[in-house]
Amino acid sequence: MSRAAIHPPLSPSGPSRPASGVWLAAYAGAVVYATLHPWSGWRTPGTWMFAFLAEPWPRWWTGFDVAVNVAAYVPIGILAAAWLARRLSLAMLPAAVLAALGAAALSLGLECLQALLPDRVPSRLDVLANAAGGVAGAAAAGIVGRRRIEHWPRRLRDALSMAPHPASGLLLLCAWLMAQIYPQPMVFATGDLLSAWPGAPGSLPPAWLSPLLLPHEFEPFAEAAGVALTVLAIGLLAHELIRPGGTGIAPVVAVPIVAAIAIRTGASAAWLGAANAFGWMNAGAQGGLLAGAVALLLLGWVRRRTRLRLAIAAIAAATLLFNLAPPNAYYLSMRATWSGGAWINVHGLLRALALVWPFAAIAWCAWRLRDAPRIPRL
């Protein structure tokens, strides 16, 4: 039997399609979730939903808040203009106009929905700032041009020897990195269902599950195993995005792990002080990082179907460990100082990412597994 039959190539890529639609959908979804957070207490508005447009200007506002609202919609303008220009075969000028109008309509709709939430206050200043961001992004896309916008990710993909259509996988890795900002029961822990369980006070698990939790003396071993499994899974996911036979696989696989370490360190310094920047790097985390790196060196080069199955198993096992292990002292101290404050919207978004990430990653691996070539039996 020929070597090509035993090692069939990855599905042909054909003409590559720009990923602006994928990134636009993901970013717009994040904006919607953050704007309507906490998604609870929905009520019938006491006044017309558009009444805030005729109200006086808010008495208290800061330039920083306005700048954040402008910046938040700039990517929507850029991505929407590029996507519309290609999807509808439009010139960049009409596509940019439609993108700016779409960004303004999205902001207006979300501000109206905020009137249904008791903890949110709609503001026309926010609408204007968001619309300005959408206009700025659309104008930038119009000036740069659709072909140049699409050319940048293609050049990056070719430079890194990435597999065809890597956008969803890159989004998955970016979401995991963002989730590391949120305080988690253990290092790299995601999918913490216990703290989100209805009736669970704060970060405590429900009473009926307490007898099933691991004893506290097993906490370092559980954390080490969970971190090792997560490092292995992230490395396998990153490897899945590299074209078979591509060069520079090891650096690309290591990038998300190194970035996660930097993010965890920065978050610790921000919330616990610079002196505690490496407070998360306990014995369990150190052992897990080392064991995960060794496991990745030994198992990172298996065939594609085996690699995806290993990633699914590692994510599932790590999530189970993170849910059954008791939270460590570092996590409890982080939760004591983490309130969200003015960033309560971002707080809610990060929590949602940390909660759903492992299940989204398992679904993505299963989806990729469908197209992975099977090895014929000899």
Predicted confidence (pLDDT) per residue in 55-88, tens digit:
877 777 788 889 999 999 999 999 999 999 988 8
With beta carbons less than 8 A apart as the criterion, state whether 235 and 311 touch: no
In a domain, 30, yes or no: yes
Which of 156, 172, 200 finishes a domain? 156
Binned at pLDDT 50, 70 and 90, residue 163 comes out as confident
Instruction: Indicate whether 86 and 194 sit together in one domain.
Output: no
Which DSSP state fits 58?
A: P
| Residue-level pLDDT at 102 | 97
Instruction: Indicate whether 173 and 299 sit together in one domain.
Output: yes
In a domain, 377, yes or no: no
pTM for the structure as a whole: 0.81
Measured in degrees and rounded to the nearest 5, phi and psi for residue 242 equal -95, 135
Which residues lie below 8 Å from residue 204, measured CB to CB, with a gap of 6+?
195
Which residues lie below 8 Å from residue 370, measured CB to CB, with a gap of 6+?
none
Instruction: Indicate whether 113 and 260 sit together in one domain.
Output: no
| Residue-level pLDDT at 15 | 42
| Residue-level pLDDT at 327 | 67
Mean pLDDT of the chain: 83
Closest CA to 374 of 2, 1, 3, 6: 6
Number of domains in the chain: 2
In a domain, 258, yes or no: yes
More confident residue, 377 or 131: 131
Binned at pLDDT 50, 70 and 90, residue 243 comes out as confident
Distances (CA, A) of 231 to 28, 163, 266, 288: 29, 21, 19, 8
Residue type, 273: G
Which of 135, 156, 177 finishes a domain? 156
Q: Is the pLDDT reported for residue 7 higher than 70?
A: no
Across 327-350, b (16+ Cβ under 10 Å) vs e yields bbebbebbbeebeeeeeebbbbbb
In a domain, 14, yes or no: no
In a domain, 378, yes or no: no
Distances (CA, A) of 26 to 19, 23, 243: 11, 5, 24
* Cβ atoms within 10 Å, residue 289: 21
Instruction: Indicate whether 49 and 174 sit together in one domain.
Output: no
Binned at pLDDT 50, 70 and 90, residue 11 comes out as very low
In a domain, 7, yes or no: no
The pLDDT tens digits of the residues spanning 188-222 come to 999 988 766 665 545 556 666 677 778 878 888 99
Binned at pLDDT 50, 70 and 90, residue 3 comes out as very low
Instruction: Indicate whether 205 and 339 sit together in one domain.
Output: yes
Instruction: Indicate whether 48 and 106 sit together in one domain.
Output: yes
In a domain, 78, yes or no: yes
CA of residue 80 relative to chain centroid, distance: 20
Which residues lie below 8 Å from residue 148, measured CB to CB, with a gap of 6+?
none
Which of 156, 185, 209 finishes a domain? 156
Residue type, 371: D
Measured in degrees and rounded to the nearest 5, phi and psi for residue 340 equal 90, -50
* Domain hosting residue 84, numbered range: 20-156
Instruction: Indicate whether 69 and 199 sit together in one domain.
Output: no
Residue type, 211: P
